[in-house]
Chains A and B, each alone.
Chain A
Amino acid sequence: MSFWLVLTVNSVTFGGLLFLLSAGFSLIFGLMRIPNLTHGSLFMLGAYVGATFVVGLLGFQLNFWLAAVIATLTVAAAGALAERLLLRQLPGDQLAQVLVTLGLSFMAADFCLMVWGGDPLSVETPGGLGGFARFGVAVFPIYRLAIIAIAVVVALGLWLLLDRTRLGAMIRAGVDDPDMARVVGIRVSQLFTIVFALGAGLAAFAGIIGGPILSVYPGLDQDMLPLALVVVILGGSGSLLGSFVGSIIVGFIYNFGQALLPELAYFVLFMPMLLVLLLRPQGLFGRHVP
């Protein structure tokens, strides 16, 4: 019985982490129409930068949350830079943009290996969130439950940003109809930079939040990117609700698939993505066909 309970709870917590990872991906895909193949690298980069301070590789240690903020801002800045210097050079050419993100992901992976070496870094659970919660017969680590709370808070924050601010309104307009948005005087290209930085920062934040569970190691990027893709295709690009629901669904498929159908684990993970693409290309909650 505890087996099912543990899997169920873990599906939700893993879903929470996936939401942090994929919300930014979804915004970028929704607004800029490019599947950003560096998203896994941004996640890994965030995890490495954060871990550098948590573990104390530079000779001093920082509080986990402070390290998370530094990682988020650093990677957001790197994202903005990549958008300004590279993606900006290729307006409207989605194919070239896909390729640039692909090339950047090769470079980022090797860069991490160059700077941090091959040793996996283990990130300590932040203070106060260690220990266990008891659910009848099953125990569950408090940190994993905290991830659900963090995901919900971030989701609410993003919702407020998108729904209640002027910037959010411009982003939504850009997602729905970029041409019309331009006509009414929204500087869509500037929005691109902002959204790309926001997405990159969210991915980095997810990376450091995931650190205590996943640890940080070379290859983390390739492990996470496909999951983000599945989430966004399932939920629909540009939709916050879609990312949230998609993340939880993928959390369940991933956990139960690995445990119950190990031989078909990846088949059951990618099959829903394929079905959605074929039957409902805009995704479950998406507003437009990518």
Chain B
Amino acid sequence: MARKFTRRKFMAGTAMGVAAATFKFPAPAIAQAAPFKLGLLTVKTGPLAQGGIQMEQGVVTYLKEKSYTFAGRKVEFISADTGGSPAGTKTKAQELVEREKVDAILGPLAAFELLAITDYIKEQKTPMLSLAGAEDMTQRRPNPYFLRPSATSAQAMHPMADFAAKELKLKKVITISEDFAFGHEQMGGFQQTFEEAGGRIVNKIWPPLVTPDYTPFVAQIADCDGVCQGFAGSNPLRFLKTYAAAGLKFPVVTGETGGDDALLRSFGDEALGMYSCCPYTLDYANDSNKRFVAAMQKDYGIDPGFYAAGLYVAAAVVDAGLQKNNGKSDDKEAFVKALRSVDLKDTPRGQIKFDHFGNVVGDFFIRRVEKVNGKLVNKTLKTYNNVSQFWTYDEKKFLAAPVYSRNYPPLKT
């Protein structure tokens, strides 16, 4: 608890510092030596705050590591709280672009926030690096100023499905996930790959985002040999509790939000044995990750997860892109081009690069929850290298099919 207070105090301190620095109205012309302005759209109030606060911690950790300097330019960091609502996201994006005149935006968190501002970002030509799912942002409705250094909704589910069918030998799986785009797209990707590998999805269950008690949905799980859950926020916790309380024992597989490393400290033993596929894993043994994990533990007293790592990597991409562009960011098109050509060898998630839509190509890790010294950990079992958003599919064919949705691929009866 004491730690938490200091963390809060620290964050309030930085926020006040930023506030003091940005209170004056922006200067019209930006000289080249001017500070680089990095904006963050995150959620610090309301139900989505958990992931949002970690996002900010990830960025700050990277900035501190680089002493707030990218390519020789001082970095001015401006964090904005969207409140988790689409309307709030729009206003805060305007604040970052129009008042602060930021050079790049990190975030937002949720797909519905991203969808609410994508047209605006395109108009304003501000480079944006988000970890929100919304597949079509890098597929059928690409946005030239958008980069996704984390993963599309389904990017981790393709390898998860491959693993579930080939190594776990699951045959009949029921999917259960929140009834919104991120859930639909995750489950769609799982179904596509799983059914091609010979398995079958026997039922798809869609509880709403806000579900105090999952029993009415868990009661529908029967006649299968595995369950794929795609929950986010605090929902995986409640789902698994209810699942275990109903006496269900089928193996559970999930994606980056359902098995997030940062969530493990909240889980009980009901999470043991759950498989997840994630573009980041806490036990990844390279220098960059060790540095990152140590810094997060020191400053915030927590093990980082997908949200913090995702934003740490996003900040690293901005840093690398700026260096590639010789520290220049005023020509937005050249800057975004440089960002998209970034090829980083050593990030906490290993090597990453971008495809021509601005979506990440990188390693994905299959993990299983185990108990080590009385503490739950995700143990990496297998790494899928260089996974793109199109998995092993032909890009043209993939894009010709509809985007993954509630009813696509359809349930076979």
Docked complex Cα distance between A249 and B99 (Å)? 52
Which chain B residue lies CB-closest to A13? B215
Interface pair A57/B265, CB less than 8 Å apart:
no
Residue B206, interface by CB 8 Å: yes
Q: What DSSP secondary structure best describes chain A's contact surface?
A: helix
**Chain A proximity mask over B209-235: 1 for CB below 8 Å, otherwise 0:** 011110111011010000000000110
- Mark out the residues of chain B between 235 and 252 whose CB falls within 8 Å of any chain A CB in the assembled complex: 237-238, 241-242, 245-247
**Chain B proximity mask over A206-222: 1 for CB below 8 Å, otherwise 0:** 00000011110111101
- Mark out the residues of chain B between 269 and 327 whose CB falls within 8 Å of any chain A CB in the assembled complex: none
Residues of chain B within 8 A (CB-CB) of A258 are 207, 211, 216-217
Q: How far is the CB of A124 from chain B (nearest CB, A)?
A: 7
Residues of chain A within 8 A (CB-CB) of B263 are 120
Q: How far is the CB of A256 from chain B (nearest CB, A)?
A: 7
Q: How far is the CB of A144 from chain B (nearest CB, A)?
A: 7
Given A122-B241, A144-B245, A265-B208 in contact, is the A255-B215 Cβ separation under 8 Å? Answer: yes
Of the candidates B8, B220, B233, B265, the one whose C-beta lies within 8 Å of that of A114 is B8
One of B49-57, B160-168, B362-370 contacting the partner: B49-57
Given A214-B212, A259-B216, A259-B219 in contact, is the A120-B237 Cβ separation under 8 Å? Answer: yes
Which chain B residue lies CB-closest to A141? B245
Residues of chain B within 8 A (CB-CB) of A143 are 245
Given A255-B216, A259-B217 in contact, is the A218-B49 Cβ separation under 8 Å? Answer: yes
Residues of chain A within 8 A (CB-CB) of B4 are 115, 117
Q: How far is the CB of B386 from chain A (nearest CB, A)?
A: 33
Given A120-B237, A121-B266, A144-B245 in contact, is the A10-B47 Cβ separation under 8 Å? Answer: no
Docked complex Cα distance between A119 and B49 (Å)? 8
Residue B268, interface by CB 8 Å: yes
Residue A132, interface by CB 8 Å: yes
Residues of chain A within 8 A (CB-CB) of B215 are 6-7, 10, 14, 255
Interface pair A119/B245, CB less than 8 Å apart:
no
Docked complex Cα distance between A58 and B245 (Å)? 28
Docked complex Cα distance between A222 and B211 (Å)? 11
Q: How far is the CB of A262 from chain B (nearest CB, A)?
A: 7
Residue A156, interface by CB 8 Å: no
**Chain B proximity mask over A109-129: 1 for CB below 8 Å, otherwise 0:** 110011101111110100000
**Chain A proximity mask over B356-395: 1 for CB below 8 Å, otherwise 0:** 0000000000000000000000000000000000000000
Q: How far is the CB of A138 from chain B (nearest CB, A)?
A: 9
Interface size class of B (residues with CB under 8 A): 35 or more
Residue B72, interface by CB 8 Å: no
Residue B46, interface by CB 8 Å: yes
Q: How far is the CB of B79 from chain A (nearest CB, A)?
A: 15
Q: How far is the CB of A72 from chain B (nearest CB, A)?
A: 20
Residues of chain B within 8 A (CB-CB) of A213 are 213, 241-242, 245
Residue B267, interface by CB 8 Å: yes
Residue A158, interface by CB 8 Å: no
Q: How far is the CB of B60 from chain A (nearest CB, A)?
A: 16
Residue B45, interface by CB 8 Å: yes
- Mark out the residues of chain B between 165 and 195 whose CB falls within 8 Å of any chain A CB in the assembled complex: 179
Which chain B residue lies CB-closest to A6? B219
Residues of chain B within 8 A (CB-CB) of A58 are 1
Given A114-B8, A121-B266 in contact, is the A223-B212 Cβ separation under 8 Å? Answer: yes
Residues of chain A within 8 A (CB-CB) of B262 are 119
Residue A274, interface by CB 8 Å: no
Interface pair B234/A217, CB less than 8 Å apart:
yes
Interface pair A224/B212, CB less than 8 Å apart:
yes
Q: How far is the CB of A41 from chain B (nearest CB, A)?
A: 14
Which chain A residue lies CB-closest to B219? A6
Of the candidates A2, A14, A115, A215, the one whose C-beta lies within 8 Å of that of B238 is A215
Docked complex Cα distance between A218 and B46 (Å)? 6
Residues of chain B within 8 A (CB-CB) of A10 are 213, 215-216, 219
Docked complex Cα distance between A10 and B51 (Å)? 31
Interface pair B49/A113, CB less than 8 Å apart:
yes
Residues of chain B within 8 A (CB-CB) of A121 are 266
Interface pair A3/B222, CB less than 8 Å apart:
yes
Docked complex Cα distance between A224 and B210 (Å)? 11
Docked complex Cα distance between A255 and B207 (Å)? 12
- Mark out the residues of chain B between 5 and 62 whose CB falls within 8 Å of any chain A CB in the assembled complex: 8, 44-53
Residue A289, interface by CB 8 Å: no
Q: How far is the CB of A270 from chain B (nearest CB, A)?
A: 14
Which chain B residue lies CB-closest to A142? B245
Residues of chain B within 8 A (CB-CB) of A227 are 212
Given A213-B241, A214-B213, A255-B216 in contact, is the A118-B50 Cβ separation under 8 Å? Answer: yes
Docked complex Cα distance between A144 and B263 (Å)? 25
Docked complex Cα distance between A262 and B216 (Å)? 10
Q: How far is the CB of B233 from chain A (nearest CB, A)?
A: 8
Interface pair A122/B237, CB less than 8 Å apart:
yes
Docked complex Cα distance between A121 and B263 (Å)? 10
Interface pair B222/A2, CB less than 8 Å apart:
yes
Given A218-B46, A265-B208 in contact, is the A119-B265 Cβ separation under 8 Å? Answer: yes
Given A120-B266, A124-B268, A214-B238 in contact, is the A219-B210 Cβ separation under 8 Å? Answer: yes
Of the candidates A118, A218, A254, A259, the one whose C-beta lies within 8 Å of that of B220 is A259
Most A CB atoms within 10 A — which of B51, B206, B215, B263?
B215
Residues of chain B within 8 A (CB-CB) of A222 are 210
Docked complex Cα distance between A188 and B406 (Å)? 56
- Mark out the residues of chain A between 219 and 274 whose CB falls within 8 Å of any chain B CB in the assembled complex: 219-220, 222-224, 227, 254-256, 258-259, 262, 265
Docked complex Cα distance between A223 and B209 (Å)? 11
Most B CB atoms within 10 A — which of A121, A139, A214?
A214
Docked complex Cα distance between A213 and B241 (Å)? 7
Of the candidates B51, B216, B245, the one whose C-beta lies within 8 Å of that of A256 is B216
Given A217-B47, A217-B234, A223-B210 in contact, is the A132-B247 Cβ separation under 8 Å? Answer: yes
Can you list 22 A-B contacts with CB-CB less than 8 angstroms, sorted by A residue number? A3-B219, A3-B222, A10-B213, A10-B215, A14-B215, A58-B1, A109-B45, A109-B46, A118-B49, A119-B266, A120-B50, A141-B246, A143-B245, A212-B241, A213-B213, A215-B266, A217-B233, A217-B237, A218-B47, A218-B50, A220-B212, A259-B216
Seed contacts A120-B50, A213-B242; 14 additional CB < 8 Å A-B pairs: A7-B219, A113-B44, A118-B53, A119-B50, A120-B266, A139-B246, A141-B245, A213-B241, A215-B238, A215-B266, A217-B234, A258-B207, A259-B219, A259-B220
3 nearest interchain CB pairs? A219-B47, A118-B50, A120-B234
